[in-house]
């Protein structure tokens, strides 16, 4: 295993999570459908609970297909172990629930993915958990907010829709000094471009729905943890009864095999398109930490090895009708939720309206773009048509 840890990411995505000699030489770990798992005798049946969730014991705890995906993602990110869940939101819910008890205090970044905030406000608060939102730019200042009953700090960098970066190592150092766990939604960074554990994250949460699966046909969540928190997290997932279909695990692992080529290509196209947009008179600002003049650039450059192809575009137009005219005129960009697939997407966004600890106003309507694998020049031509329609719509 130690020689594996030194492998580069592209080698890990090619080789991790498969063992052809175990499966008659088949290159990919096959799909194992299972509920019941049979044991040879009573002794081994009664011993089944003694492991750390890594052997076959019952379908809900995973099959060789599930384990293959989990092992590959954990190895790529440099974590101790991983567990797959039925959606990214389910992974967030289970991870937060592992730190939630009546009287606990949990700190959540004000830039958080909105359904995470909704779960905290609608569910955790009702169970007697104190939820406090903090300024995403707080850095080491998080120390001032940590109390004796604080159990977790939740980060997300860059923030959903606002693309604000966070100084995760500074936040983690302050949290760890007081024995508090650091959870992070690392969907944008992915295990390929952000090695969360090297930056102080204890529990890294991915919407596997996005770049890991990569083809807009799977719902998936993956929690990766360090050794310290593994059993606490794995038990929480088991207690809630979450499990994932082996077909979906197979598809997610197939997606993971090509995450490197897809993400590098999509990043390059996204940068080209973002720079083109920056020069357009209709555009006030592009929110993308991979751009040198973005306020989050220094942190991104320090902590990430690449960028997702998802960014925000603040427009000079003030009319929502004109922004809709832009999006409706696009022929290559689909209008829909999610991202990280092979295809481009465009949606309007208004993340400022959910903030409670801080204010966020980009100074114009916000468009969120996901850049797919199309040729970037074709996407630019499409956007040019869209901007023209926005101008005509006033």
Ligand X SMILES: *Cc1c(COP(=O)(O)O)cnc(C)c1O
Residue 79 C-beta: closest distance to ligand X, Å: 18
> Quick check: 230 and 244 in contact, CB under 8 A?
no
Residue 188 C-beta: closest distance to ligand X, Å: 6
Residues that bind ligand X (CB under 6 A): 87-89, 113, 160, 185, 187, 207, 209-210, 219, 221, 338
Residue 267 C-beta: closest distance to ligand X, Å: 17
Place of tokens 């044991």: 39
Residue 90 C-beta: closest distance to ligand X, Å: 7
User: Nearer Cβ to ligand X, position 87 or 269?
Assistant: 87
> Quick check: 313 and 366 in contact, CB under 8 A?
yes
User: Nearer Cβ to ligand X, position 64 or 88?
Assistant: 88
Residue 187 C-beta: closest distance to ligand X, Å: 4
User: Nearer Cβ to ligand X, position 64 or 221?
Assistant: 221
User: Nearer Cβ to ligand X, position 57 or 262?
Assistant: 262
User: Nearer Cβ to ligand X, position 61 or 154?
Assistant: 154
Residue 211 C-beta: closest distance to ligand X, Å: 10
User: Nearer Cβ to ligand X, position 311 or 329?
Assistant: 311
Which residues, at least 6 apart from 64, have a Cβ–Cβ distance to it below 8 Å? 22, 29, 30, 32, 56
Residue 221 C-beta: closest distance to ligand X, Å: 6
> Quick check: 347 and 335 in contact, CB under 8 A?
yes
> Quick check: 166 and 157 in contact, CB under 8 A?
yes
Measure the CA angle with vertex 159, ends 242 and 183; round to 5°. 45
User: Nearer Cβ to ligand X, position 14 or 338?
Assistant: 338
Tell me how far apart the alpha carbons of residues 111 and 133 are, in angstroms, rounded to a whole number: 9
User: Nearer Cβ to ligand X, position 13 or 87?
Assistant: 87
Which residues, at least 6 apart from 320, have a Cβ–Cβ distance to it below 8 Å? 348, 365
Q: Which residue, among 96, 66, 98, 97, has the nearest Cα to 82 in the 3D structure?
A: 66
Rg (C-alpha) for the chain, rounded Å, is 22
User: Nearer Cβ to ligand X, position 255 or 386?
Assistant: 255
Residue 71 C-beta: closest distance to ligand X, Å: 21
Residue with CB nearest ligand X? 88
Count CB atoms within 10 A of the CB of residue 154. Answer: 25
The pairing of strands 105-109 and 150-156 is parallel
Residue 148 C-beta: closest distance to ligand X, Å: 30
Place of tokens 């359904």: 115
């Amino acid at each position: 295993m130690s020689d594996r840890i030194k492998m580069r990411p592209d080698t890990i995505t090619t080789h991790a999570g498969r063992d052809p000699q175990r499966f008659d030489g088949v290159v990919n770990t096959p799909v194992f459908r299972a509920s019941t798992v049979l044991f040879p005798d009573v002794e081994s049946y009664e011993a089944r609970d003694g492991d750390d969730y890594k052997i076959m014991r019952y379908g809900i705890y995973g099959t060789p297909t599930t384990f293959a995906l989990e092992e590959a993602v954990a190895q790529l990110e440099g974590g101790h172990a991983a567990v797959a869940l039925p959606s990214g939101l389910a992974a967030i819910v289970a991870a937060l629930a592992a730190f939630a008890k009546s009287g606990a205090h949990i700190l959540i970044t004000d830039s958080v993915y909105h359904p995470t905030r909704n779960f905290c406000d609608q569910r955790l608060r009702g169970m007697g958990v104190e939820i406090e939102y903090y300024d995403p730019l707080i850095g080491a200042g998080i120390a001032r907010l940590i109390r004796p009953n604080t159990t977790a700090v939740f980060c997300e960098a860059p923030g959903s829709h606002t693309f604000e970066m966070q100084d995760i190592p500074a936040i983690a150092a302050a949290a760890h000094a007081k024995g508090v766990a650091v959870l992070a939604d690392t969907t944008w960074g992915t295990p390929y471009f952000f090695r969360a554990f090297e930056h102080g994250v204890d529990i890294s949460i991915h919407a596997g729905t996005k770049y890991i699966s990569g083809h807009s046909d799977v719902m998936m969540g993956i929690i990766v943890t360090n050794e310290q928190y593994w059993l606490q997290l794995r038990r929480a997932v088991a207690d809630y009864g979450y499990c994932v279909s082996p077909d979906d695990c197979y598809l997610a692992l197939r997606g993971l095999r090509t995450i490197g080529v897809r993400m590098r290509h999509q990043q390059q196209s996204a940068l080209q398109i973002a720079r083109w947009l920056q020069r357009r008179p209709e555009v006030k600002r592009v929110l993308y930490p991979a751009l040198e003049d973005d306020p989050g650039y220094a942190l991104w450059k320090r902590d990430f090895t690449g960028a997702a192809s998802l960014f925000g575009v603040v427009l000079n137009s003030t009319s929502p009708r004109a922004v809709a005219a832009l999006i409706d005129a696009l022929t290559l960009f689909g209008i829909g939720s999610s991202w990280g697939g092979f295809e481009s997407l465009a949606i309007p966004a208004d993340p400022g309206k959910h903030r409670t600890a801080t204010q966020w106003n980009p100074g114009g309507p916000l468009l969120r773009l996901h850049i797919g694998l199309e040729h970037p020049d074709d996407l630019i031509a499409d956007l040019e048509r869209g901007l023209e329609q926005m101008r005509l719509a006033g």
